[in-house]
Amino acid sequence: MYLIFCHKSVILNKLIKMSLFIRNYKPGVAYNAQILWRFNSTTAETVKQGEDEEEFRVLDILHKKGKLQKRVNRRADIQPDRSEKMPTDQNWGNVWPGPRSFHPSSVPLPIRQGYVPKGQAPPGKKANAELMKIPNFLHLTPPVVKSQCEALKKFCTSWPKLLNSEEAIEKNYPMEIISSDYCHASPTIRNPLARIVTLRVKLSNLKLDSRARDKFLRLVGDKYDEKTDLVTLTADRCPVRKQNMDYVNYLLTACYHESWTVEDWETDKCLEDMEYYDFDLNPSKKNLVNWYLMSNNEDNNLNDEQVKNFDVSKIPNGVEYKSAVSELFNEGESDLALNKYDTSVRKLLGLPEKKIAN
Amino acid sequence: MNTSIIKIAQASNALSQFSPVFASQFHTSSALCRVVSGKYRITKKRDRPLTYEMANPPHYIAHRKSWNSWNTSSLKDGLRKSETAVEDEFIRRFINGTWHGLVCSEVIIKRQFNHIRIAAIMRRAVSPTKMYFLLGYTEELLSTWIQCPVTLELQTVDSYEDVVFKYI
């Protein structure tokens, strides 16, 4: 037991010695020691000299000396601002070639920004984060824009001379395709809204007769605007713009050709099925024609087809009567329509004008 | 057992008829409209340094100070709202950690297309060599992570005192 303990202590001693050695050992220790020694001796000497010169040591209660000894590290190698060395006739586009945050040492302008109480000057351009935040257009000065436009000119072609007016453009390009492109501040250039395609065409530009036009309007429904005579077809169901464009074109083509086809059942349409009042088809015209022919002592044995094709303008005041009756049926009863009907009937039958009792 | 519970309920019902406190299930009080975020308290010695950004509380954004993040995601119907916000926060933390103790202002992040421009005011406390290294290091790492070209647009000041707007 004792032996073992003794052995252990020996090992411990050895270990301690080794650790001491490791702690003190540094590569090139002899050289360092020499230098240290020399340094020590010189400092000691200077301190001695200082003590000799000063007669009394000053009691420094507030430790003012220590405070004064704090050096402010000012770098001497900081260059003066670039803006101070700029010549007045320099090319600004070379100084500020692209979009960049504001930098005070490159901009030779005395700019200030910031809100301060009245009477104070706003913060200057240096160390002003507000100036760095706002987007600047220092890279888009008028001379730079001009030179860039000049550089881009060779890639442009002149506008066709024949397309000099809105009418000419509308005549040559009756169909209008509207789609939107989007710009983002994000790594993706895709925007789901860019897929939407709108096609606009004037109904008068399509070659349709009255029946086909009627059918076309029924097919497109509320996509037709009466005021502007425009048919607007919008597609957003496909994921890509190209597909939507194809779909819009397909829609227009399909509607156009469908409106020209005549189905068998379309001939079965009778007077009761009419969605509007057509004067030529109604008994009102037959009565008018018969009355006209009778009053002129002419042969009034016209069949239905002849009555239908009879020109109302032959009858004096006939056109006015026709429009008044049509308006009354198509647009509903109103004071204006009734008055118009009243006057037209009086004119047609040669009755005196209505006397308004005041 | 069940009947006893019902009895208690009935009793409490009867109680609620007399006292409105028992009738309501939860109690409300007037709202405490005390906004403290982004505001700094005045110190006794009036020696707390504030930058211009700190001196103007958040409700002055767009009046006295502008935003620190400029992008289209924050507009109406903007895309990548959450991604942009998270990326911005990541960039801010990364810059503050990489340029440790050097950032004197808020980190301003501007995005144009896929280009991210980061502006900040730094202290000239490290050597220019180190600054150039940090600049390249930051740009390289951020562009690798975010998969976008990243540009650092720094302005340097001598000390933090240069950006101090006022003391409160």
In a domain, A322, yes or no: yes
Q: Do A130 and B56 touch (CB under 8 A)?
A: no
CA distance B168 to B151: 35
Query: For a pLDDT cut of 70, what percent of chain B falls above it?
Result: 86
Q: Do A103 and B155 touch (CB under 8 A)?
A: yes
Of residues B110, B119, B155, nearest to A104 (C-beta):
B155
Taking 50 as the pLDDT cut, the residues of chain A under it are 1-48
Chain A residues with CB under 8 Å of B121 CB are 127, 129, 132
Our CA dihedral for B17, B22, B25, B26, rounded to 10 degrees, sits at: 130
The reported pLDDT for the residue numbered A220 is 92
Q: How many CA atoms lie within 13 A of A320 on its CB side?
A: 13
- What CATH number does the domain containing A200 carry? 3.30.160.20
- Rg of chain B taking only CA atoms, in angstroms: 26
The reported pLDDT for the residue numbered A44 is 44
Query: For a pLDDT cut of 90, what percent of chain B falls above it?
Result: 67
**In terms of Cα–Cα distance, which of A201, A197, A190, A194 is closest to A225?**
A201
Size of interface A-B (CB pairs under 8 A): 100
E-strand ranges in chain A read 176-179, 197-202, 224-225, 230-235
In a domain, A355, yes or no: no
Same domain, A285 and A242: no
Q: Do A185 and B70 touch (CB under 8 A)?
A: yes
Chain A residues with CB under 8 Å of B52 CB are 114, 123, 128-130
**In terms of Cα–Cα distance, which of B48, B53, B42 is closest to B163?**
B53
A113, A184, A190, A196, best to mutate vs chain B, most B CBs in 10 Å:
A184
A70, A100, A101, best to mutate vs chain B, most B CBs in 10 Å:
A101
Return phi, psi of residue A3, to 5°: -60, -45
Chain A residues with CB under 8 Å of B146 CB are 187
Of residues B65, B113, B148, nearest to A130 (C-beta):
B65
The reported pLDDT for the residue numbered A195 is 95
In a domain, A66, yes or no: no
Level-2 CATH architecture, domain B37-167? 2-Layer Sandwich (3.30)
The reported pLDDT for the residue numbered A283 is 86
Chain B residues with CB under 8 Å of A186 CB are 71-73, 79-80, 83-84, 111, 113-114
Q: Do A186 and B80 touch (CB under 8 A)?
A: yes
Domain termination residue (choose one: A242, A268, A294): A268
The reported pLDDT for the residue numbered A54 is 61
Pick B121 or A189 by higher pLDDT.
B121
Total number of domains in chain A: 3
Q: Do B79 and A78 touch (CB under 8 A)?
A: no
In a domain, A209, yes or no: yes
Same domain, A202 and A244: yes
Chain B residues with CB under 8 Å of A191 CB are 79
Of residues B66, B72, B83, nearest to A134 (C-beta):
B66
In a domain, A7, yes or no: no
What residue numbers bound the domain in which A190 lies?
Answer: 166-268
In a domain, A287, yes or no: yes
E-strand ranges in B79-140 read 108-112, 115-123
> What is the nearest CA distance from A187 to chain B, expressed in angstroms?
4
Same domain, A174 and A230: yes
Chain B residues with CB under 8 Å of A132 CB are 105, 108, 119, 121, 153, 155
> Which residue carries 């801010």 as its tokens?
B92
| pLDDT digit string, tens, across residues A15-39 | 444 444 444 444 444 444 444 444 4
The reported pLDDT for the residue numbered B3 is 57
pLDDT band at B20 (very low <50, low <70, confident <90, very high): low
In a domain, A192, yes or no: yes
Chain A residues with CB under 8 Å of B56 CB are 115
The reported pLDDT for the residue numbered A62 is 78
DSSP-based three-state secondary structure for A173: coil
Contact A104, A128 (CB under 8 A): yes
Chain A residues with CB under 8 Å of B119 CB are 101, 132-133
Chain B residues with CB under 8 Å of A75 CB are 124, 158
CA distance A325 to B24: 71
Same domain, A205 and A186: yes
The reported pLDDT for the residue numbered A304 is 81
DSSP state of B65: B
Q: Which residues of B sit within 8 Å Cβ distance of A?
A: 51-53, 56, 60, 63-68, 70-73, 78-80, 83-84, 104-106, 108, 110-114, 117, 119, 121, 124, 146-148, 153, 155, 157-158, 162-163, 165
Same domain, A263 and A340: no
Same domain, A249 and A279: no
Cα dihedral sign, A254-A256-A262-A263:
positive
Same domain, A215 and A242: yes
Query: Does pTM top 0.80 for this prediction?
Result: no
Q: Which residues of A sit within 8 Å Cβ distance of B?
A: 74-75, 78, 99-101, 103-104, 114-115, 123, 126-130, 132-135, 183-189, 191
In a domain, A38, yes or no: no
Same domain, A279 and A331: yes
Same domain, A275 and A264: no
Chain B residues with CB under 8 Å of A135 CB are 70, 110
pLDDT(B68) > 60: yes
The reported pLDDT for the residue numbered B74 is 86
| pLDDT digit string, tens, across residues A229-251 | 999 999 999 999 999 999 999 99
Domain termination residue (choose one: A206, A234, A268): A268
pLDDT band at B59 (very low <50, low <70, confident <90, very high): very high
Residue ranges per domain, chain B? 1-30, 37-167
Give the number of other CB atoms < 10 A from CB of residue A335. 7
Same domain, A187 and A223: yes
